[in-house]
Chains A and B, each alone.
Chain A
């Protein structure tokens, strides 16, 4: 077990890398299309909502130390219902992986590899994922820690946008009304997803419970702030009427900058971004493979890895039109909000009401 355990710091990077992913590119666009110039308020609200989910996830996992969500479900719901919910959760995590693949393929196919067949683009990512999740959580966490400094490159590139911004574009504040802001904060929550992998990774984290909560909350705060920075930058770079026609504002913004050596800054950004996407994909694929392991009562999750990756790959190549991906995105976003955002709170309630907890843990 010891080689499987991860430290607090590794958990922090794990959560950060799982949260930052495909969403970075289109978040400003989706926020703006609903909440207009107040999109950034919606994002901050989403950060607060997510904190509630994080609290629930942490409390739930704290009642059952060393258990993943897939071990917890049968314990609090009974064997049969637990199996059904295990299946649902496995599918849920698998579909988030699929969505990541599809969106990643969509961006890469549109911005860099115009002529490369889509299945190749997806296959490379799925294959990498399959290979990665055969390792232990600790090895994955180490890799995530190493690649985190790369985020600074992304932020540095975005910082360059401040050479040409129109600060007035952020005004007027609070013109769209509270309902649209709350409405669009659900979109922001989807981009901030990734904290839900804690449902599984908390079981591997060694250390004091309070410290774990602090680490996850801090990771989520960091990601919210990074997103906030990106959203505000694009909001003041683009005109309010222009941003609604550029679905990937961040890339579009970078495309305009060129330096003596680098002509297309967006390509540099994309190549770093792909690593961020890969890390979120790996996280979710790992969680899904854990689910498969529980469902089929396998000894190791490694044996499930190739199959779950193949499954994701096959489904991810189905949608080949932009509109189809958008529809998928819509439905999977709704289920993600349900299962990752709201469900943990209910699961915690059930556990509390039915007084379920692991034997031997002290009641608080």
Chain B
């Protein structure tokens, strides 16, 4: 009896209704974009997909695009909320796009609201647009009219580029530790609207960051080499096409396409007794030749030859990537992080921002052909 008496007040407590958030009273943002206006205000653009019933009975997705400006990201979001009939929530957000100008200023200021809110989705993708973010968000995509919203479309676009190793895998949370790290930087997908009035979006390459700011970009074919050098073992479709011959008349015959099976990275940072810092990335990669229009891969010497040519070409590209990174002063491979970890006294003394572009940084890729498809 006594126990029953205890139960009564407990049961009455179980019906708490303070913390409910009704789906029919909220609008879920699936894609968000940030830009700056000329006078320094933040413009937030948000895409809110709404299911619309059609006569045929099939659900159709209509994308509503809203935008508002304010002095901070949060203020612009609050103003956005005033323009929308229901309450806006970013808990199912799929992607955040920064306009190039916004990315070059500081992205942490804009992201703070996502890190601070316990409800926000930290696994949303991040991307930089070569123009304005609002252009990307409000693109009237050919591909997505019927099925999905802008958020899903852009997320899938980025995912497929990640699988193709055009860009490294990142989301809001994964960039956060790196953003704070004085010894490492990161890169985000670099998007551009294509097709006149914007019917599609193209992944142009990677946008490199230094600290919280974007400092440059690496375009598409080279960005695969960039991703390979990050030490990613392999993705589903890590492929690249390289021109390895220069003697054939028909240009197509000069090319070979490889698919990476496995990468193994040796990354060393050394400090000489005189205090000179040098870094070296050696990548051993096992590849399958997935396209070789010349069709003569039957004999081992020929394969050896191709291995040599590919290694030479890829190493050249790798060195090119490093050269660009040092020029941009972006350190995505974490040379500085290695210094902090293993040469802390050296690190404490130096000004990394000045030192990094000057260090000796070598990169090479050694190709090992392990297969050639189903023909030779």
Partner of A241 from the list B6, B118, B121, B181 (CB cut-off 8 Å) is B181
Q: Is B367's CB within 8 Å of the partner chain A?
A: no
Interface code B15-35, partner A: CB below 8 Å = 1, 0 otherwise? 010110000000000000000
Stretch with Cβ within 8 A of A (4 or more), from B48-56, B57-65, B172-180, B280-288: B172-180
In contact, A256 and B180 (Cβ under 8 angstroms): no
Partner of A116 from the list B16, B121, B173 (CB cut-off 8 Å) is B16
Given contacts A115-B18, A115-B19, contact A171 B122 (CB under 8 A): no
Within 8 A of B (CB), among A96-119: 110-117
Q: Is B277's CB within 8 Å of the partner chain A?
A: no
In contact, B118 and A168 (Cβ under 8 angstroms): no
Q: Which residues on A sit within 8 Å (CB–CB) of B176? A: 239, 242
In contact, B123 and A171 (Cβ under 8 angstroms): no
Stretch with Cβ within 8 A of B (4 or more), from A120-128, A196-204, A214-222, A347-355: A120-128
In contact, B13 and A124 (Cβ under 8 angstroms): yes
In contact, B6 and A168 (Cβ under 8 angstroms): no
Report the bound CA distance from A168 to B336 in whole Å. Answer: 11
Q: Which residues on B sit within 8 Å (CB–CB) of A85? A: none
In contact, A258 and B123 (Cβ under 8 angstroms): yes
Report the bound CA distance from A9 to B9 in whole Å. Answer: 34
In contact, B18 and A256 (Cβ under 8 angstroms): no
Q: Is A131's CB within 8 Å of the partner chain B?
A: yes
Given contacts A127-B10, A238-B177, A239-B181, contact A114 B19 (CB under 8 A): yes
Stretch with Cβ within 8 A of A (4 or more), from B155-163, B212-220, B293-301, B339-347: B339-347
Partner of A255 from the list B13, B118, B182, B337 (CB cut-off 8 Å) is B118
Looking at chain B's contact residues, the main secondary structure is helix
Partner of A112 from the list B9, B19, B338 (CB cut-off 8 Å) is B19
In contact, B13 and A168 (Cβ under 8 angstroms): no
Report the bound CA distance from A117 to B265 in whole Å. Answer: 54
Report the bound CA distance from A240 to B182 in whole Å. Answer: 10
In contact, B16 and A171 (Cβ under 8 angstroms): no
In contact, B340 and A242 (Cβ under 8 angstroms): no
Q: Which residues on A sit within 8 Å (CB–CB) of B118? A: 110-112, 114, 255
Q: Is B151's CB within 8 Å of the partner chain A?
A: no
Which one of A171, A238, A239 has the greatest number of beta carbons of chain B within 10 Å? A239
Partner of B342 from the list A169, A171, A237, A239 (CB cut-off 8 Å) is A171
Nearest to B173 among chain A residues (CB) is: A256
Report the bound CA distance from A60 to B122 in whole Å. Answer: 51
In contact, B122 and A256 (Cβ under 8 angstroms): yes
In contact, A117 and B18 (Cβ under 8 angstroms): yes
Report the bound CA distance from A240 to B336 in whole Å. Answer: 14
In contact, B341 and A239 (Cβ under 8 angstroms): no
In contact, B123 and A242 (Cβ under 8 angstroms): no
In contact, B171 and A241 (Cβ under 8 angstroms): no
In contact, A172 and B341 (Cβ under 8 angstroms): yes
Nearest to A238 among chain B residues (CB) is: B177
Nearest to A236 among chain B residues (CB) is: B177
Nearest to A248 among chain B residues (CB) is: B118
In contact, A116 and B340 (Cβ under 8 angstroms): no
In contact, B180 and A241 (Cβ under 8 angstroms): yes
In contact, A116 and B18 (Cβ under 8 angstroms): yes
Interface code A235-278, partner B: CB below 8 Å = 1, 0 otherwise? 00111111000000000000111100001000000000000000
Q: Is B334's CB within 8 Å of the partner chain A?
A: yes
Interface code A171-208, partner B: CB below 8 Å = 1, 0 otherwise? 11001000000000000000000000000000000000
In contact, A168 and B341 (Cβ under 8 angstroms): yes
Nearest to B174 among chain A residues (CB) is: A164
Q: Which residues on A sit within 8 Å (CB–CB) of B180? A: 239-242
Q: Is A300's CB within 8 Å of the partner chain B?
A: no
Nearest chain A CB to B275 CB, angstrom units: 18
Report the bound CA distance from A104 to B53 in whole Å. Answer: 46
Given contacts A131-B6, A241-B181, A255-B122, contact A123 B13 (CB under 8 A): yes
Partner of B338 from the list A168, A237, A239, A242 (CB cut-off 8 Å) is A168
Q: Is A4's CB within 8 Å of the partner chain B?
A: no
Which one of A168, A169, A240, A257 has the greatest number of beta carbons of chain B within 10 Å? A168
In contact, A171 and B177 (Cβ under 8 angstroms): no
Q: Which residues on B sit within 8 Å (CB–CB) of A128? A: 10
Nearest chain A CB to B337 CB, angstrom units: 5
Partner of A256 from the list B123, B340, B341 (CB cut-off 8 Å) is B123
Report the bound CA distance from A110 to B117 in whole Å. Answer: 10
Nearest chain A CB to B84 CB, angstrom units: 21
Q: Which residues on A sit within 8 Å (CB–CB) of B18? A: 113, 115-117, 120
The interface of chain B, by Cβ under 8 A from chain A, is: 6, 9-10, 13, 16, 18-19, 118, 121-123, 171-174, 176-182, 334, 337-338, 340-342, 344
Taking A128-B10, A168-B337, A169-B337 as given, write out 13 further A-B residue pairs in contact, using a Cβ cutoff of 8 Å, ordered by the A residue number.
A111-B118, A113-B19, A115-B18, A166-B337, A168-B340, A171-B341, A172-B340, A238-B177, A242-B177, A255-B173, A256-B122, A256-B123, A256-B174
The interface of chain A, by Cβ under 8 A from chain B, is: 110-117, 120, 123-124, 127-128, 131, 164, 166, 168-169, 171-172, 175, 237-242, 255-258, 263
Q: List 25 A-B contacts (CB under 8 A).
A: A113-B18, A114-B19, A114-B118, A115-B18, A117-B18, A120-B13, A127-B9, A128-B10, A166-B177, A168-B337, A168-B338, A169-B177, A171-B341, A172-B341, A175-B344, A237-B177, A238-B177, A239-B177, A239-B180, A239-B181, A240-B180, A241-B180, A242-B179, A255-B122, A256-B123
